[in-house]
Structure 1
Amino acid sequence: MFDSIAVSTALDRARAALQTVERRVGVEHRDQIVTLAPAEPSPLIELLPDGDLPIGAAMTVRDSASLMVWLLGAVQRDRWVALVGWPELSPVALTEAGVDLEHVVVVPDVRGHAAAVLAALLDGVEIVVVGPRTATTASERRRLLARARQRATTILSPARWEDAALVLAVEQTSWSGPDRGNHWLREAHLGVVRRSRADGAGSRFDVARYGTTAPTTLATRAAARRRAG
């Protein structure tokens, strides 16, 4: 009974937040039937200190939209996600990464109301992705972070966010496949540095994806020596 009440409350909050944003930016909601992605544990959560996104905080994933999408698929579970100001993110890529599109709100254009739109979404959506087309000032970001703390929600951004609790910076990226990856990219290798209060100077990881399999994460001394060299 408790779980059903909690899910219903989260759904009502997400719907209310979406209606607020729709009225502000002047768009209409349309229901779509999608194929749900399978909910399977992902080794990619090893990148996260507690195995999940920081709650009531901001987190940045720099220099890799692919890693951002893979992380969303790894941690979304039954939570609602808002994608704001990032129309280039493909629904196909999101689905392949394991993102449940039935729990995704997409606002491709904030039409000059970035701070107000984000504030409304933080009231009802557990994970808010602030895309590169969502321009905010430093003071607005501070206010939005304070709102996220109050609502116990998470801000995800590909750009710098002041006082972010967790930063994943991709320093090296390589893709390969048939004809050296020119026609069909099948393998990806990322060198990732994680910075948080618990990481000191930073922890280093190798992330690899082969074909359509889930990305894997490896943190080894050898990987750290190779990056340092």
Structure 2
Amino acid sequence: MSAAPDLTAPALVAQLRERIGALEGAPARTPLPTYDAFAPLIQLRAGGTYVVDAASVALALVAGASAGGEWVGVLGWPDLGAEAAHDLGADLSRVVLVPDPGGLWLEAAAALIDVVRLVVLRPAGPVDPKSVAVLDARLRKRSAALVVWGEWPRCEARLSLERVSWTGPGRGSGRLAQRRAEIAVRRGGAPPARGGWVVSGGVVS
């Protein structure tokens, strides 16, 4: 996993482009690869924005795209769990991490969108409509997708983690083995689509 140091705005943009500039001009594919457990519920459409409410959901989307051969940029997530992402199947050699862009988050996000197919963004605070419009236009132009862990005014769908339970302990003792959860995908006012999955160990049948 690559990490970008603190830089001025022009230098940050230049470094991000240099790191994976060899991907410039690569043909876009639609939809993006997704995590196996989510595939029956949602495909990430190029040009779309998706909101998630849990780190494990964001990491699963990182894993699906990177394992499928795409480059992924992760922005504003300094404590990203690299080991957890790897356990979910992520190819960390295809993940570019910008842990703390500070006030340059919009420039950094735009630079990542230029050179990767999927950007995962954890906003540090409220996002203004102008910034959203800038990124929406950039996503459509570059055939990339955006996953936001946090609040975002407009999105294709919202992915929520629900009904979480753990397996492993018996009679009040023992080690936790797996976390079983249900993922709910909401699009507008339509009823949510739901499916089960195991955060570690595979897909719930």
Q: TM over 0.5, yes or no? A: yes
Amino acid at match of 2:104: H
Kindly tell me the number of residue pairs found equivalent between the two proteins.
183
Are 1:84 and 1:108, in contact at CA under 8 Å, matched by a contact in 2? yes
Shift in Å, 1:96? 1.1
Gaps of 5+ in 2: 1-6, 20-34
1:131 aligns with one of 117, 122, 128: 122
Shift in Å, 1:196? 2.2
Paired residues for 1:4-153 under 5 Å: 23-24=11-12, 42-48=36-42, 52-62=43-53, 64-76=54-66, 77-133=68-124, 136-153=127-144
Are 2:41 and 2:194, in contact at CA under 8 Å, matched by a contact in 1? no
Amino acid at match of 2:49: A
- Equivalent residue, structure 1, for 2:29: none
Instruction: Write the deviation string for residues 30-70 of structure 1: whole angstroms up to 9, x where unpaired.
Output: 9xxxxxxxxxx83432231xxx31211101111x2112212
Q: Are 2:200 and 1:215 equivalent residues in the alignment?
A: no
Gaps of 5+ in 1: 1-18, 31-40, 219-229
Shift in Å, 1:27? 8.3
Amino acid at match of 2:58: M
- Equivalent residue, structure 1, for 2:23: none
Distance 1:203 1:95 in 2: 27
- Equivalent residue, structure 2, for 1:203: 193
TM-score normalised according to structure 1 size: 0.67
Larger-gyration structure (1/2): 1
Amino acid at match of 2:41: L
TM-score normalised according to structure 2 size: 0.74
With over 3 angstroms needed to count, the CA separation of the structure-2 counterparts of 1:188 and 1:139, relative to structure 1, is same
With over 3 angstroms needed to count, the CA separation of the structure-2 counterparts of 1:131 and 1:101, relative to structure 1, is same
Instruction: Report sequence identity in percent.
Output: 28
Are 1:168 and 1:195, in contact at CA under 8 Å, matched by a contact in 2? yes
